[in-house]
Structure 1
Amino acid sequence: MTTTVALVCVQNAGRSQMASAFAERERTERHLGDEVELVTGGTDPADHVHPEVVDAMAAVGIDIANRTPREVTFEEIQRSDIVITMGCSADDVCPAGWAGENRDWDLDDPDGRSVEEAARIRDEVEALVRELFDELEATTEA
């Protein structure tokens, strides 16, 4: 059975881009390609990924410079088992009758932050993604 995880924030230009990149890495390293599907997007996507986020990720060897923020669709949210917001609400895309699980990671927005602050947020995102994949891996082994 495949678990679909949506990583959502308003602009899809910072936190959700970092989360998506770390989630892709975890999925590959843990050989969960057939078990975990990833979706990322924003409710009001920006034109580009925030430069401080690109730099923060490059500092840990992950290149997201060529990624483009995208809009998450109602249908993607509907078919997701877990929707994770990044300190912003997905209420406008999550219908009242939706039966999936919603989690909010309550992360600071890295947009306009210093290099040090963007790195702190990146490290927090990485730890949360690792915890999520520990949980997903445990359920696939059960």
Structure 2
Amino acid sequence: MKIAFICTGNSARSQIAEGFAKYFAKEMGKDIEVYSAGSKPAGYVHRLAVEVMKEVGIDISDQYSKSLEEIPVNELDLVITLCDSAKNECPVVPGAKTEHWGIPDPAGKGLYAFRWVRDEIERRVKELIERL
């Protein structure tokens, strides 16, 4: 199974989701390929996203902000959008299921906001991987 988390900038929420999905898939022994991308990639992973993931023992510092063209969009089984603009801009992937998780952008709101977003994404991703 191939899943992708899509956000506008691919700098925080989708990067956090990718990190958790890879972690939980491995922990639960699930054969899942995980991707993230942005409809308008920022070109960087937000330093606070990296920091809050390190707090829970997951290193996403080697991940990078990428466009939809850089992931195998036509091979995806599940596409999850994390913001409304990505939901509206995400291409339709024939045969792929879609989900939308409207999670607020923590950028510019400080460490507390990044922690809240991390914890919300962790809960949702864990439930997702358990049911796949």
TM-score by length of 2: 0.89
Take 2:115 and 2:105, find their aligned partners in 1: how far apart are those partners?
Answer: 12
Q: What is the CA deviation profile of residues 1-54 of structure 1, one whole-angstrom value per residue up to 9, with x for unaligned ones?
A: xx111111111100000000001101111112xx21212111111121112212
Take 1:16 and 1:100, find their aligned partners in 2: how far apart are those partners?
Answer: 18
Q: In structure 2, the residue corresponding to 1:73 is in which secondary structure?
A: helix
Which blocks of at least 5 consecutive residues in structure 2 are unaligned?
Answer: none
2:83 corresponds, among 82, 87, 94, to: 87
Equivalenced residue count is: 131
Aligned to 2:111: 115
Does the alignment pair 1:24 with 2:38? no
User: Which protein is bigger by CA-based radius of gyration?
Assistant: 1
Whether the aligned pair in 2 keeps the contact of 1:13 and 1:49 (CA below 8 Å) is: yes
Take 2:64 and 2:70, find their aligned partners in 1: how far apart are those partners?
Answer: 19
Whether the aligned pair in 2 keeps the contact of 1:73 and 1:93 (CA below 8 Å) is: no
TM-score by length of 1: 0.83
Whether the aligned pair in 1 keeps the contact of 2:87 and 2:100 (CA below 8 Å) is: no
Counterpart of 2:69, as a letter, is T
Take 1:75 and 1:116, find their aligned partners in 2: how far apart are those partners?
Answer: 31
Counterpart of 1:126, as a letter, is E
Whether the aligned pair in 2 keeps the contact of 1:53 and 1:110 (CA below 8 Å) is: no
Which blocks of at least 5 consecutive residues in structure 1 are unaligned?
Answer: 137-142
Counterpart of 2:2, as a letter, is T
% same residue: 30
Q: In structure 1, the residue corresponding to 2:19 is in which secondary structure?
A: helix
Give the alignment of 1:1-142 within 5 angstroms: 3-32=1-30, 35-73=31-69, 76-88=72-84, 89-95=86-92, 98-136=94-132
Q: Are residues 123 and 75 of structure 1, via their aligned partners in 2, closer, same or farther at CA, if it must alter by over 3 Å? A: closer
Counterpart of 1:45, as a letter, is P
Take 1:120 and 1:20, find their aligned partners in 2: how far apart are those partners?
Answer: 17
Q: Runs ≥4 in structure 1, deviation > 4 angstroms?
A: none
Q: Which has the higher helix share?
A: 2
